[in-house]
Amino acid sequence: TQLLEQSPQFLSIQEGENLTVYCNSSSVFSSLQWYRQEPGEGPVLLVTVVTGGEVKKLKRLTFQFGDARKDSSLHITAAQPGDTGLYLCAALKGTSYGKLTFGQGTILTVHP
């Protein structure tokens, strides 16, 4: 059983469409992060959310942390081909250092 359930696993859309990726758990987390990974590279941090109900925006990307700090979502508006990649959520739970638990990831493909 995955501690972090990420959905959908695959997403294939046309340029200009909107999309949402979900990250859910039954556990409460101290913070949750979203990463983007391109083929042959390591994950790159997009955002960290800490407070329940928090919403952060990064250009066309909107990140939300659930009120109970058990779930999060990533919404992309007007997707571009450059948004193509693997999106990973990751959570910190119960440690004072950066030991992350990752979801399985969402592979996003945006077609021109």
Partner 1 sequence: GAGVSQSPSNKVTEKGKDVELRCDPISGHTALYWYRQSLGQGLEFLIYFQGNSAPDKSGLPSDRFSAERTGGSVSTLTIQRTQQEDSAVYLCASSGSPDNTGELFFGEGSRLTVL
Q: Which of 61, 88 has the CB closer to partner 1? A: 88
96 vs 112 by CB, closer to partner 1: 96
Structure tokens at 74: 């990533």
Rg (CA), the chain: 13
Strands 106-111 and 85-92, sheet pairing: antiparallel
Q: How many residues belong to the chain?
A: 112
- As measured in angstroms, the least distance from the Cβ of 99 to partner 1 is 5
The binding site for partner 1 (CB under 8 A) comprises 2, 6, 30-31, 40-45, 48, 88, 90, 92, 95-105
